[in-house]
Amino acid sequence: MLRLRASEIAAAVDGELHGDDVTVTGSVETDSRLLTDGSVFFAMPGEVTDGHRFVDAAIAAGAVLVVAERPLEQDVPHIVVADGVVALGALAADVIRRVRETGELTVIGVTGSNGKTTTKNMLQAILEQHGSTVSPVKSFNNEVGAPMTMLRIDESTRYLVLEMGASIEGDIARLTAMAHPDLGVVLKVGLAHAGEFGGIETTTRAKTEMVRDLGETHVAVLNRDDERVRGMAAATRARIAWFGTDEGTSDEPVALRASDIDSTLEGTVATIHRGDETWRLRLRILGEHHVMNALAALTVADALGLDLDRAIEALGEMARAERGRMELLEPGGGITVINDAYNASPDSTAAALRSLAHMTRQAGRRSIAVLGEMAELGPHAVEEHDRLGRLAVRVRIDRLVVVGEGAKPIHDAAELESSFGQDTTWVATADEAEALLRRELVAGDVVLFKSSNVSGLQPLADRMGGR
């Protein structure tokens, strides 16, 4: 973070400073275990514990300033605020303002129901070739995680890439007001988190908030293939840079287009078009759906005037999208594991199943899908799990193992869709799934693990992958 005095931070967060006006030289943290000398500790109440309980640990770790929601007994400079989360966001907005005034900061916001983390990682790989780039750790994209990413910048930062997630309407608008993105990317609108939003139309409104609040000098990077994203053009004042798989129209030409998309167990390929120019994209990342994420990242690079040859080369060097996201593991014995169990939505799970079926048919290998619950679907949960069970049969997945009560409609639907139901099994726990797989797997099998993180399949995928 920027070097700031406690009084400057107090002014930014509308808080009351108690103690000396110390200078902060370290990072801002909400976890006392991450603190180093010169850092700021935000002591905030949480769902599991209260950050105020860890003030002593924060001081011992080197924190020189604490931001708290009540006066502290400890002898440490601290700022008292009404709401720690609001204060964190206010400080992030102030730091971005200061860096913009003294540096050449460009902010890129990325939102969408699927693909945010992969696209963020792709942008990091491209942009870091051209200047100091800050992007989220893992998928920090909420009211706490996004400001924490913003607070990692300093005067030397050239690019800031932000994931913008939401659980209710207004969340993305608040993040946009903090960061004021120069470019806003919308990847896709789907049923991820639909239970929290209450339906697809509410999700669409929430994802529209970023492009709605972009200015006339900004760029909205929009997926022309997604009908709901396409409709966002009417909501923004920004210049639109379209990406997709069709050529667009004379009125709405596509900036970058992909064709000849194919995916194997060795990676994913596509031809990228910009007018009459073409490039061959070769990703080590598995799954045809990642071509759209690559297109989004390349469209940002193009809008910034960066060299596309270098950008495409950078994407080709990426070993994986992210841990637990279509990650290829080779445990030995001729078995291949694809760990995609960090997160799941109906769209991403369907894409993973189609990719598995396509890749294994090309390679002449047996496909096995181990599926857990997709969380946060609300009233759509049974219907969407049912739909995926039928899809698994229709794309000819050879063996289906369904784990957990919440995912059981996948198994039930697959049994009904298939002739005899002999290729699908439901088990209650990951341990049962592991025992079944260790009995059944043979050389040549390709096993996909796909679920929301709360289902607990990622550790199983890691074990089965030999990690």
156 is annotated as contributing to ligand binding: no
Contact 341, 461 (CB under 8 A): yes
* SS3 assignment, position 252: coil
Orientation angle between helical segments 290-303 and 308-316, nearest 10 degrees: 150
Residue pLDDT, tens place only, 2-52? 999 999 999 999 999 999 999 999 999 999 999 999 999 999 887 777 889
Is the predicted pLDDT of residue 197 greater than 80, yes or no? no
Give the percent of the chain with pLDDT over 70: 97
Which one-letter DSSP state was computed for residue 71?
-
Per-residue pLDDT, 366: 97
In this prediction, residue 429 carries a pLDDT of: 96
245 is in an annotated binding site: no
In tens, the pLDDT along 72-98 reads 999 999 999 999 999 999 999 999 999
3-state SS assignment for residue 265: coil
Task: Record the tokens describing residue 176, joined without a space.
Answer: 């946009």
Q: What pLDDT is recorded for position 413?
A: 95
Report which residue type is found at 368.
I
CB 30 within 8 A of CB 18: no
Model pLDDT for residues 243-283, shown as the tens digit of each residue = 999 888 888 899 999 999 999 999 999 999 999 999 999 99
Least Cα distance to 309 among 266, 269, 270, 280 occurs for 280
Is 138 annotated to bind ligand?
A: no
Q: What is the pLDDT of residue 137?
A: 84
Residue 112, annotated as binding a ligand? yes
CATH 3.40.50.300 describes domain 103-316: no
In this predicted model, what pLDDT tens digit does every residue of 419-461 receive, in sequence order? 766 699 999 999 999 999 999 999 999 999 999 988 889 999 9
Distance of alpha carbon 200 from alpha carbon 229, whole angstroms: 12
What is the DSSP code (8-state) at residue 25?
-
Q: Domain spans of the chain?
A: 4-83, 103-316, 327-464
For residue 141, is pLDDT > 80?
no
Of the candidates 55, 54, 65, the one whose C-alpha atom is nearest the C-alpha of residue 26 is 65
The chain-wide mean pLDDT, for the chain, equals 93
Question: What per-residue confidence (pLDDT) applies to 248?
Answer: 84
Tokens 């059981």 belong to 408
Residue 435, pLDDT score: 97
Q: Is a pLDDT exceeding 90 seen at residue 190?
A: no
301: CB partners within 8 A, 6+ apart: 126, 127, 307, 308, 311
Q: Is 107 helix (H, G, I), strand (E, B) or coil?
A: strand
Type of residue numbered 402: V
Question: CA-CA distance, 124 to 102, in Å (whole number)?
Answer: 22
Length of the chain in terms of residues written: 467
Q: Is 115 annotated as a binding residue?
A: yes
Token pair 């770790």 in the structure block, residue? 61
pLDDT tens-digit series, residues 398-418: 999 999 999 999 999 999 998
Strand partners, 387: none
Strands 16-18 and 78-80, bridge-based pairing: antiparallel
CATH 3.10.290.10 fits 327-464, yes or no: no
Statement: 4-83 belongs to CATH 3.90.1310.10: no
Q: Is 114 annotated as a binding residue?
A: yes
User: Position of tokens 């540096």?
Assistant: 103
DSSP three-state, residue 277 = strand
pLDDT for residue 111: 95
Residue 196 has pLDDT above 60, yes or no: no
113 is in an annotated binding site: yes
Task: Round to whole Å and give the CA distance between 337 and 159.
Answer: 35
